[in-house]
Amino acid sequence: MIETTTSISGQTHASAHVALEKVPLESYVPPAKPSLIGLSRVELAEKLGGLGIAPAQRKMRVQQLWHWMYVRGAQSFEAMTSISKEMRKELERHFTVARPEVVAEQISNDGTRKWLLRLPGGDKLEKAHEVECVYIPETDRGTLCVSSQVGCTLNCAFCHTGTQRLVRNLTAGEIVGQIMVARDRLNDWIDRETPNGNRLVTNIVMMGMGEPLYNFDAVRDALLIVADNEGIGISRRRITLSTSGVVPNIKRTGEEIGVMLAISLHAVRDELRNELVPLNRKYPIAELLQACRDYPGASNARRITFEYVMLRGVNDSLEDAKLLVKLLKGIPAKINLIPFNPWPGTAYECSDWQQIEKFSEYIFNAGYSSPVRTPRGRDILAACGQLKSETEKLSARERQALRAMAMTD
């Protein structure tokens, strides 16, 4: 049961008695014909062995499949013309190369795209699960925000996704599949021309629905496929994993995945962070920052990003800025200031722009990069902290609030 209390900001929020973590309501049920998307080369070889492919041929066949799936984006075995017809038919009998289905696409007035994706079903009696994925085009890059769970394990007070139940973790194939869907929709595979001649999806951020480090194995396996230079080929330096602070898996992220790290910090005092990010009661700020100091590969060239959502009258004072600088001493860091993105029913408000600029200026003068993230996709609830699967329908009150936000934002 969630109780409420009045915080130091004078606003009413979830109390410290809110559960730190949610328990998954369901587990993954594989379909009768599983997809090969998301399998490692070793796992693909095992599948081919099950079809009677001789060991001497498996490496070559795996490489053919890998190329067709991850370089050319083939959506069927029939399209894989360098593989014999007989083998294509055999693969078709047992497997698919299915990725999530696009149920709805929304395009913001700033060019941001949000896709509601339905995951390939397992048992026919199982309710179809849906997640959201967001593409943010910029002049020098195209960033894809990818989900790791249906819902979220955590209950961060300012986050729309945190109000959702945790249904289940995504598989590696469902995570990789989101990137493949984006390339499908944008016509962004290597054998096709893009409007500017360059790749459209250049960066990946694990900042969608879910806490990635509570689904570590699947996220790791997926990102290793995404970073493979003989496939999707997105550099580890262009992949950022964001965590609310699951300390035991931070070191593992550096050692086993090697991607850029982002920390959802949002407060500089344990008392307030306990309220905003209840997981802090399990892994407090000092413990979290020590894990960052120990993060494998962290350097001035590979800085850790600290995300800090700007909440009016809550965490945006100059004293907060001073303490933030003090806390991060000795960590190769940059600080990403995020204007709070409102969502229906929230009690928080975005800091005044003048206050955000003062906060940013203090941090910058202390020697830290402190960009203010430009809100993108607010009009389609695609901005940071706003994702919530349409599986959970908005109430009439939420819809009314959303319409009001769209008119005034």
What is the Cα Rg of the chain in Å? 22
Catalytic residue among 256, 349, 384, 398: 384
What is the separation of C-alpha 312 from the centre of its chain, rounded to a whole number of angstroms?
26
Token reading at 207: 């900042």
Is 127 within 8 Å of 389 (Cβ atoms)?
A: no
Is 46 within 8 Å of 95 (Cβ atoms)?
A: no
Q: Is 384 known to be catalytic?
A: yes
Q: Kindly list the strands in the beta sheet with 130-137, ordered across the sheet, starting from the edge strand earlier in the chain.
A: 101-107, 113-118, 130-137, 142-145, 203-206, 239-243, 260-264, 304-310, 333-339
Helix (H, G, I), strand (E, B) or coil at 384: coil
Catalytic residue among 132, 174, 211, 275: 132
Q: DSSP code of 293? A: H
Token reading at 288: 């979290």
Strands (E), 73-154: 101-107, 113-118, 130-137, 142-145, 149-150
Report, as residue numbers or ranges, the catalytic residues.
Answer: 132, 384
